Amino acid sequence: MLTSFRWLQELCPVDADVHEVAQRISLAGLEVEAIEEKGAGLEAVVIAEVRTRTAHPKRDKLTLVSVFDGEAEHEVVCGAPNVPEPGGRVLFARPGAVLPNGMEIQPRKVGGVESSGMICSESELEIGADADGIFVLAPDHDALPGTPVADALDLRDYILDIGLTPNRPDCLGHIGVAREIGVLFGQSYVPRKVPSPRQTFAAGEAFASGAPTVNLEPRWENGSTSVDAPSLPSVSVDIVDGDRCPRYGAALVTGVTVQPSPFWLRYRLHNLGLRALSNVVDATNLILLEWGHPIHGFDLSKLRGSKVVVRLAKDGETMATLDDVERTFTSDDLLICDGEGPVAVAGVMGGADSEIQDDTENVLIECAYFDPRSVRRTSRRLGLHTDSSHRFERGVDPQAVPSVLASAASLIAELGGGAAATTAIDSVSVPYIPNSIALRPARASRLLGSTVDATESERVLDAIGCRITDKSDAAITVEAPSWRPDLGREVDLIEEVARVRGYDQIPTAVPRVHPSESGTPEFLRFVAALRGAAVTSGLYEAVNYGFVSREELAHARVSTEAIALANPLSEERSVMRTSLMPGLTGAATRAQRHGAVDVRLFELARTYHPNGSALPHEQTTLAIVLAGDAGGWIGGDRHYDFYDGKGVVQAIVDRVLGQEPEIAVGPVPEFMHPKRSAAVSFAGESIGFVGEIHPDVGDALELAGRVVYAELDVAKLDAMGREVGPPQASGLPKFPAVARDIAMLVREEFTAAEIAEALSEGAAGLAETVQLFDLYRGDQIPDGHRSLAFRVTYRDPESTLTDKRVDKVHKQVAALVRDRFDATLR
Amino acid sequence: MAEPDAVQTFENGLDAIRGAYAQALSEANDEPSLRLINGRYVGPQGELTQLLKLMPKLPGDRRRELGQLANALKQDVQQAFDHALEAIHRGAREAELTGPALDVTLPGRWPMPGRLHPITRVRNDVLEIFMSLGFDVADGPEVELYENCFDKLGFPPDHPATDEHDTFFIEADGAPNPHAVLLRTQTSTVQVREMTRRQPPLAIVSPGAVYRRDDDATHSPMFFQLEGFLVDTDVTFAELKGVLTLFLRRLFDEHIAVRFRASYFPFVEPGGEVDMSCVFCRAWEGDRERTAACKVCKGTGWMEILGCGMIHPVVFENVGYDPEKYTGFAFGMGLDRIAMLKYGIPNIKLLYDNDVRFLSQF
């Protein structure tokens, strides 16, 4: 909320500058996000008197004006239509002046005539919104030519932008902020009486037909002139749905003249972010900014039947609001109606038909307390967030109604030159009951970790406006002030004590944390380890949004049975992903477009799967993508392929489980290459897959070249890890090993794994390892064949192997392979 | 069967070898040629080897004497060979040590380096600090029930406190309550879940993805938060201050100043926000000019870093704890924001674009 420091100082003067005040209220919860100085930087803009005014020789719309700025006369070419007669005073930017928009005023020729300086409008000086003409001082203004504009128009102020939390509706008006400043600076805030309207009239009970009334006079300072009551029909108020409108008040001002507001009022509204419209409307806005309590002005003549009915709408009922939009209501929306139909949406916005017009004479001022939840629902349903709804939905002060009415009636009568009725309607359907709360200083001390005594408690509670109703050694019982709906229970009062004292005045301590039996779930530690393993294996970690488009899922040929958002920001992010594949390969696609030669990414994240219960199954998956150049040392130009993926998967699994997974032909998802992919399993349990992406899918995803992709099911991996347990050590071998190589020519159909297995089998328990170390196709190798060379390492754990024994076993092994695979030994 | 010629031949042979070997070996200038020359004397077909084969033919009275001579010569040859070999090795090493250097600027051979995402790095750092203080880590679902995200945390119904939580709801055709399921807007949901599941004392931190319907220059519709809370008998606001001050100093710099401001979150009371010294202008160092010019803290020297407070009794009541018996504190922070501060990341969108050029920087 924007607040005027000047206004705050008028309401509760404290001996502190704007920065001190801003700092103190910020620490106490009214966070000042910005401070803007007003009226500064206008030193070279002064009051000047028009001396002569003649037509421009060439241009119709321009006027040649001679002005006197207190020191010299200046010839100025002015484009405004409202240059005053000689003697009139204007705002003059001297040559060299810099306007708030950064423009420097230089002597220049306009239409061939030299112009020196500039006569300014409100908007050029950013002191108002009026850009239609230059600013002309009122004839009775006492400023002399040469007076700086900031002094003449009293522009100096600071505007504090306070980021208010929704628990503090009391600070949505200057009175509330001033009261808070008083509390924090140890200065009591004294609510001031409102200046009396110049003219009042005693309407008595005649004004309100049947409704309860309140006399406004005691809230006014003395000194108004009483005039005869005008002959107007009396007004009735009927609150049909009392729960939604616990209190409804209305005051009457007659005989007003609607016209533009004086400059001070327009300037104040402008600085506080509101547009000045007319004196009556501006007055209602000023009251809103002062009290934080929205009020509404009706043109009494437009209230059919002189009746106010507060009731819920009928489903489908319609009305045009002030912004000229036809609104349709539901039976949950509270309306203000006259004798025939709706005239306002309660607490949100007035109706177009009953608003204050230029010819309005009699104003009925509404000041009510509406149910916050009701206003909020209606405001959200209509998508209509207004200064009014913003306050009502946070909760205005129900007890302030008579004071606000008195203040509003006085101001409108003053500005409009009318007379205010001394009696106002004050209809209460649900009486206000203050919250009664007990504060135990001992409890406050225990919660804060710092001694809070009864004296401090009492002082703070009193300062914030609580009424102390009972005191004992153990507790202070208070009634919370009506403007603080956030004070509901003891802990709220403890916060007040802490806040007013200042959080910085509470000591710091380090707690003894009791370690839990269960500690951090193993799964979470495992996930962290898995990320580490993926990074160690050369992968960059990606983080994608959890949502994707259904189309992406379809393109990727993964499940489109997805959790859908009811209110997505866009179609691209409208369903929760069922696979990490689209997101991760999307990153690869983009990287390829940027010309990245080597893309190797992983993502460890959740996918979401509907499962018939309230919440979907969230599965954690590790996904890997490799695309582009496999690299190597200088000059290696090899594309990533299946074996790179396999290697990464082996490395990762080995790093977290201490053993390699099995990778074999097996079922893989539809989006994988049917001939260049494999299933990954561990101890017989399927844990994922690895391979190249199906070329058709690759095309649909706009991937270039072969792209390697793998997924591992993290929960299963974790379970496997627990099954495998920690590594179990064995002693070192006592006898040496002997290595022998065997090379062979075999048909392609036999896999390296099955040949290796046969080699091992043939060695009758003596083969410690069998390793493929060469693979060759090409010259001298018949079609459909390949040459494979294995190294078999023999070891007998019980004795030293003799050459003779190794020769014998190696021959057996060779014979077995030759016979089983029809191999030609080389 | 002694042959007088044999003695002659033998003696002549020894003399010939003795006269030649030293010169021959010294002429070799690398190891293979040295070995070749050596082979000519002591190899299987070498002159000395051949000579020794004549031993049986020598007369018995000379055999012993000549044998000793031959053996001595063999030892001399061996010694000369060893010396020559050593000289060659030394020469080679000398040449390497004094000759041209390697081109050390050619790329090294190393395993491909991977990178953790900056959010993961920050999460690891933060978790490590809290785990060392005795906190456990916990986890919760991202697709959540409305009641866990709002009601049980004490958000009043139809209250503007939810305005900051512009929520994604899950489509629920025909369900009685269209807002029953949502994407969690805060990791505070884990408070509700863990407190419902377990009994105090509890010291838990929980990082994770959260979602809000904001997508502009400074907001991402998905981002990461970390929630922490401690519940026990007699947990105090002073301890909340102590833990968070310690945490921020360990995470950023042990010299930073930390200040607590009153603020509002429905699930804590008293509630607060925490500011720390601006880490961009290193405000704690007291260089006023640098701080005044700092665009990040706008010259204030402070930056907002987390929200916190004492757990509201209504939250305890909602999970079945006795608020008179237990007290606790809770805090929450944006891991994205911390990552951006720590690594000087200029734009939140970079965190989710997964641009390799960005990811490779961590």
The shortest CB-CB distance from A167 to any of B241, B261, B264 is to B264
A539–B134 CB contact, under 8 Å: no
What whole-number distance in Å separates Cα of residue A413 and Cα of residue A216?
14
Whether the CB of A298 is below 8 Å from some CB of chain B: the reply is no
The shortest CB-CB distance from A538 to any of B114, B168, B243 is to B114
Q: Which of A461, A167, A447, A442 is nearest to B241 (CA)?
A: A447
Q: Which of B66, B87, B75, B64 is nearest to B42 (CA)?
A: B75
Q: Which of A19, A31, A33, A167 to mutate to test the interface with B (most CBs of B within 10 A)?
A: A167
The shortest CB-CB distance from B359 to any of A508, A541, A566 is to A541
Q: How far A521 CA lies from chain B's nearest CA (Å)?
A: 7
Residue A403 in tokens: 């004071």
Q: Which chain B residue has the Cα nearest residue A493?
A: B270
The pLDDT assigned to B276 comes to 96
Q: Which residues contact A238 (CB under 8 A, 6 or more apart)?
A: A307, A308, A309, A310
Burial of residue A783 (CB within 10 Å: 0-12, 13-18, 19+) is exposed
A393–B222 CB contact, under 8 Å: no
B203–A516 CB contact, under 8 Å: yes
Q: Which chain A residue has the Cα nearest residue B298?
A: A34
Q: Which of A407, A408, A465, A380 is nearest to A171 (CA)?
A: A465
What letter does residue A243 receive in the DSSP assignment?
T
B273–A540 CB contact, under 8 Å: no
Instruction: Identify the residue whose tokens are 């919660």.
Output: A447
The shortest CB-CB distance from A546 to any of B139, B142, B215 is to B142
Q: Where are the alpha helices (DSSP H) in chain B?
A: 4-27, 31-42, 47-52, 60-98, 118-132, 146-149, 189-197, 237-251, 288-292, 313-319, 335-343, 350-353, 356-359
Residue A242 in tokens: 């009392």
Q: How far B193 CA lies from chain A's nearest CA (Å)?
A: 14
Q: Which residues contact A115 (CB under 8 A, 6 or more apart)?
A: A75, A76, A77, A107, A108, A109
Cβ atoms of A718 and A524 within 8 Å: the answer is no
B355–A538 CB contact, under 8 Å: no
Cβ atoms of B331 and B229 within 8 Å: the answer is yes
A633–B131 CB contact, under 8 Å: no
Q: Which stretches of chain A drop beneath a pLDDT of 50? A: none
Greatest distance between any 2 Cα atoms in chain A: 135
Q: Give, to the nearest 10 degrees, the angle between helix A279-291 and helix A174-184.
A: 30
Q: Which of A43, A50, A23, A47 is nearest to A35 (CA)?
A: A23
The shortest CB-CB distance from B107 to any of A506, A541, A633 is to A633
Q: Which of B215, A573, A671, B224 is nearest to A563 (CA)?
A: A573
The pLDDT assigned to A634 comes to 66
* Strands ordered across the beta sheet of A436-439: A436-439, A476-479, A467-471
Residue A344 in tokens: 């306002």
B238–A507 CB contact, under 8 Å: yes
The pLDDT assigned to A58 comes to 85
The shortest CB-CB distance from A447 to any of B169, B221, B236 is to B236
Q: Which of B116, B216, B237 to mutate to test the interface with A (most CBs of A within 10 A)?
A: B237
Question: How many interface pairs between A and B have CB atoms less than 8 angstroms apart?
Answer: 257
Q: Which chain B residue has the Cα nearest residue A546?
A: B222
The shortest CB-CB distance from B263 to any of A29, A511, A564 is to A29
What whole-number distance in Å separates Cα of residue B333 and Cα of residue A726?
36
Cβ atoms of A293 and A400 within 8 Å: the answer is yes
Residues of A in contact with B360 (CB under 8 A): 540
Q: Which chain A residue has the Cα nearest residue B245?
A: A508
Phi/psi of residue B303, nearest 5 degrees? -135, 140
The shortest CB-CB distance from B269 to any of A492, A599, A600 is to A492
Q: Which chain A residue has the Cα nearest residue B237?
A: A448
ipTM of the complex as predicted? 0.90
Residues of B in contact with A446 (CB under 8 A): 234, 236, 327
What whole-number distance in Å separates Cα of residue A619 and Cα of residue A494?
44
How many other CB atoms are found less than 10 A from the CB of residue A229?
A: 18
B241–A503 CB contact, under 8 Å: yes
Q: How far B362 CA lies from chain A's nearest CA (Å)?
A: 9
B256: left (phi over 0), alpha (psi -120 to 50) or beta: beta
Mapped onto helix, strand or coil, the DSSP state of residue B181 is strand
Q: Which of B123, B149, B158, B362 to mutate to test the interface with A (most CBs of A within 10 A)?
A: B158
Which amino acid makes up residue A13? P
B157–A491 CB contact, under 8 Å: no
The shortest CB-CB distance from B160 to any of A166, A507, A602 is to A166
Cβ atoms of A423 and A203 within 8 Å: the answer is yes
Whether the CB of A138 is below 8 Å from some CB of chain B: the reply is no
Whether the CB of A623 is below 8 Å from some CB of chain B: the reply is no
Residues of A in contact with B120 (CB under 8 A): 531, 541, 543
Q: Which chain B residue has the Cα nearest residue A593?
A: B355
Q: Are strands B136-137 and B202-211 parallel, antiparallel or unpaired?
A: parallel
What whole-number distance in Å separates Cα of residue A463 and Cα of residue A499?
12
B262–A167 CB contact, under 8 Å: no
Q: Which of A503, A574, A576 to mutate to test the interface with B (most CBs of B within 10 A)?
A: A503
The pLDDT assigned to B359 comes to 94
The shortest CB-CB distance from B143 to any of A515, A563, A634 is to A563
HEC profile of A48-74? EEEEEEEECCCCCCCEEEEEECCCCEE
Residues of B in contact with A587 (CB under 8 A): 354-356
Cβ atoms of A370 and A243 within 8 Å: the answer is no
Q: Which residues contact A756 (CB under 8 A, 6 or more apart)?
A: A770, A771, A772, A790
Q: Which stretches of chain B drop beneath a pLDDT of 70? A: 1-4
Q: Which chain B residue has the Cα nearest residue A633?
A: B109
Q: Give whole-number Cα distances, B179 to A170, B150, B214, B265, in Å.
A: 31, 11, 18, 21
Q: How far B324 CA lies from chain A's nearest CA (Å)?
A: 9
C-alpha torsion B128→B132→B136→B142, nearest 10: -20
Write down the pTM of the prediction.
0.88
Q: Are strands A2-4 and A157-163 parallel, antiparallel or unpaired?
A: antiparallel
